[in-house]
Amino acid sequence: MSGAESFAPTPLMLSNGARARLAALIEEQGNPRLKLRVYVTGGGCSGFQYGFDFADETADDDTLVEFGQVALVVDPLSYQYLVGSTVDYEEGLAGARFLVQNPNATTTCGCGASFMV
């Protein structure tokens, strides 16, 4: 019989591009406490939509996911929809944005801003 392996799931991942952009924004703002808040709200063409904000304060029930000098903050209601997701950053002809690659989404809209589970 083999021994049990230990596994610590990461609720969210942050791509290298998102880490670099977040670090640049923190430097531009001159606020090392700045974190990227990721949240889910009702709405959008698929039922739920992602939102992003910057916060230097966290609530007692927030989940803080740190990646070196940068961090993500997620409220408890949004957390359940984001477990296992990766936050990425892209620049293109339509502009620049943070986005979520969510393996829990069963349907997404064309722009990738809303989803259904």
Q: Please give the annotated binding residues for iron-sulfur cluster, written as ranges.
A: 45, 109, 111
* Helix, strand, coil percent content, the chain, rounded in steps of 5: 20, 40, 40
| DSSP per-residue string spanning 38-95 | EEEEE-STTSEEEEEEEES---TT-EEEEETTEEEEE-HHHHHHHTTEEEEEEEETTE
Annotated binding-site positions: 45, 109, 111
